[in-house]
Each structure stands twice: as C-alpha cells, then as structure tokens.
C-alpha cells in the first residue's frame, strides 16, 4: 500500500470515529461555493453513504452565480439545500474547502463542528477533538476526497467523477496552477471515468447578458501598471464574478498580476491572480485587506472581502487600489488605460 493510500485509510478511520454516535450529519462548503467546494461536498456525502452507512445533507450559503457553477449544480440534480438559520444541536457538521474561522465559512467553530477537510492554510480556533485533514500544499480539496474514495474502494460513478475532475481542473487551472503530484494522480484517475459530454456542456454553459456588461466594465476601467492590471467592476451581478474576470485579465500579454474588484451585497469583493511561480497572492491579499475584512488563498490565487458598512464604494475601492499598488511597488500615476 502506498504512503498516500495508507494515509487516506487512517483519515477515514479517524473520520468514522469523529462521527460515532451521530445520526445526523450536515456537510457545509464555503460561502458562494465553487466547483471544488461543490464536488468535495457531494463526494463526502457519497462516501459517508456508501462506505460508512451514514446519511448526510449538504447545506450552502451565499450565491452560485457563475454560469459554469450553476450548470454543475444542475448536472448533479441540485444536491444542496440552503443552510438552515439554526442547525439542530444533535447534528454533526463537516466543513469542506474552508475552515470555521475563515471569512468565507458560514459556520463558526463549535462542538457541532466534528470535522474539517480543506486545502487552504490552517486557521486557528478548531476544537481540539475535531477531525481535520488540512493540506495547504494541494491544489484542490477534491483531490483529498478522491483519495478517500480510492482508499475506501468505493466505485466512483461518472457523475461524481465528472464533478471531482472539474473541481480539480478549475482550482488548478488545468494542473497549471499550484498542482502537486497528488492532484495530478487524482486528475488522471478520474479522467477515464468522466461524462465527457456533460463536462463539455458545463464548461461552455451559456452566460447572461450581465456577464458581457461586466466584462465591458473591466476592460473600460482596467489600468495596466507595468506587469500589473487592475480593474473595477462596480456593482456585480454575483460575487464570484471578480475571480472570473481576474482569470480573464491574467491572459493579458506581459502581465504577472491581475486584480479585480467589485461590490456585491454591500461588500467589496477582491480577487487576485498571479503567474509568478513563487506565488504570494495569499500574503498579498491579507496585507491589502488587513483588519478591514477577511482574506485568504494560495500562492497564485487569492481573494478577500471588505464590508462597506455605509462607506462609499468608490472610496473603499480607491483605498484598496492604492494599497495593492503600494504592495506591488507600482506608481499610481504610471497606470495606462487598458483601452482608450
């Protein structure tokens, strides 16, 4: 048995122990769940059902706005329900692709949180007895769940393989961003099992007119500072649009950093992407947001949220832009419009 498989077996046993005596389980992905979070939550529920004979629900909070994410949820037959305002006291909570003390987690650390599975840097505040599988070196949480399924020797149906494959693909940008040998192994294991027709439809889902309107806003407001491009979307149709546009802008020739900002539900959402192999996006966004909000991420992709609390959006956006340029040693006056 390989070291990775042995580790997965050990984790599965620990997870079973953490849920001992619990008859109700609620799986919670991060707010505004993306493909990695959705796939990981669905895979965990499948694993609990098929391997541990434990029934579970998935509760989510926020907005699923990106067309591809909505298509994935439809393909999975809408596997999640809205997170209840009050979780029953006898329910065990398992958190995936985030952690209770992170800014994008809709539940706080408590005795009800029995486990956390995540690929982001470890946060403080987890209960000592809480099951945890935290691997910040990995490119996707879906990789961890794929290892669990393989260790449990559970058959992986096409619909689940498709979701997990897409989760790894999106979080690692097709294995080009932050992927490890474990991510590659999971990706290659899943690839022959996927529903290729469904994957094509998910990846090329039709988008609303608001998407093009906000792309126009990004191009119109974007400025290039040597190897940095910064754009302001204004009011966004959905919060993960900032990350979607940041990915798009990173394709600009000569750019090493792309930054996109926009307001959704009275919160300034900030997304950063970088081509630099040594990364630094997570540290950068934390330095920029500071105590004004919450932030996190990996070396090459990160994001943050700053509640406006009545402050004019334009002023907060200008302040954040100034901080970004300062952190990246750029001169604000040197900015060149993306289009003229």
Look at the alpha carbons of 56, 157, 97, 141 in this order and tell me if their dihedral is positive or negative: positive
What is the C-alpha separation between 17 and 28, in angstroms, rounded? Answer: 19
Q: What's the average model confidence in pLDDT over 295-324?
A: 94
* Per-domain residue ranges of the chain: 3-203, 210-337
**Six-digit token string for 290:** 């500071």
What is the C-alpha separation between 19 and 36, in angstroms, rounded? Answer: 23
Whether residue 330 contacts residue 226, with contact meaning beta carbons closer than 8 Å, is answered with yes
**CB proximity list for 173: less than 8 A, separation 6 or greater:** 247
Q: What is the enclosing helix (H) or strand (E) of 210? A: helix 209-221
At the second CATH level, the architecture of 210-337 is: Roll (3.10)
Both ends of the chain: CA-CA distance in Å? 60
Q: Under CATH, which number does the domain 3-203 receive?
A: 3.90.1640.10
Q: Is the pLDDT of residue 257 over 80?
A: yes
Per-residue pLDDT of 181-220, as tens digits, reads: 999 999 999 999 999 999 999 999 999 898 899 899 999 9
Per-residue pLDDT of 108-124, as tens digits, reads: 887 789 999 999 988 88
Whether residue 110 contacts residue 125, with contact meaning beta carbons closer than 8 Å, is answered with no
Q: What is the enclosing helix (H) or strand (E) of 29? A: strand 24-29
Per-residue pLDDT of 42-56, as tens digits, reads: 999 999 999 988 999
Q: Is the pLDDT of residue 267 over 70?
A: yes
- What's the confidence (pLDDT) of residue 327? 96
Q: What's the average model confidence in pLDDT over 251-257?
A: 95
Q: What's the average model confidence in pLDDT over 69-74?
A: 98
């Amino acid at each position: 048995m390989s070291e990775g498989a042995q580790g997965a077996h050990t984790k599965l046993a620990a997870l079973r122990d953490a849920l001992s005596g619990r008859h109700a389980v609620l799986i919670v992905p991060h707010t505004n769940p993306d493909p990695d979070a959705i796939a990981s939550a669905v895979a965990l529920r499948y694993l609990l059902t098929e391997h541990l004979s434990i029934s579970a629900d998935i509760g989510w909070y926020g907005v699923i706005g990106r067309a591809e994410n909505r298509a994935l949820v439809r393909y999975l037959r809408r596997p999640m329900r809205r997170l209840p305002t009050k979780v029953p006291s006898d329910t065990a909570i398992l958190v995936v692709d985030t952690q209770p003390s992170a800014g994008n987690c809709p539940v706080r650390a408590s005795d009800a949180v029995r486990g956390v599975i995540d690929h982001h840097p470890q946060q403080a505040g987890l209960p000592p007895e809480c099951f945890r599988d935290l691997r910040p070196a990995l490119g996707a949480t879906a990789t961890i769940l794929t290892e669990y399924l393989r260790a449990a020797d559970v058959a992986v149906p096409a619909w689940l393989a498709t979701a997990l494959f897409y989760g790894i693909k999106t979080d690692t940008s097709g294995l080009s961003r932050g992927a490890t040998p474990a991510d590659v192994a999971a990706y290659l294991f899943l690839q022959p099992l996927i529903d290729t027709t469904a994957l094509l439809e998910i990846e090329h889902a039709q988008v609303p007119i608001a998407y093009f309107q906000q792309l126009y806003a990004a191009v119109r407001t974007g400025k290039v500072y040597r190897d940095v491009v910064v754009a302001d979307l204004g009011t966004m149709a959905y919060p993960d649009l900032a990350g979607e546009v940041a990915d798009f802008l990173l394709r600009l020739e000569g750019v090493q950093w792309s930054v996109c900002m926009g307001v959704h539900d009275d919160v300034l959402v900030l997304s950063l992407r970088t081509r630099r192999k040594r990364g630094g996006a997570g540290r950068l966004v934390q330095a920029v947001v500071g105590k004004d909000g919450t932030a996190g991420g990996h070396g090459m992709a990160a994001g943050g949220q700053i509640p406006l609390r009545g402050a004019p959006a334009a002023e907060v956006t200008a302040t954040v832009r100034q901080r970004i340029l300062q952190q990246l040693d750029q001169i604000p006056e040197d900015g060149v419009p993306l289009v003229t």
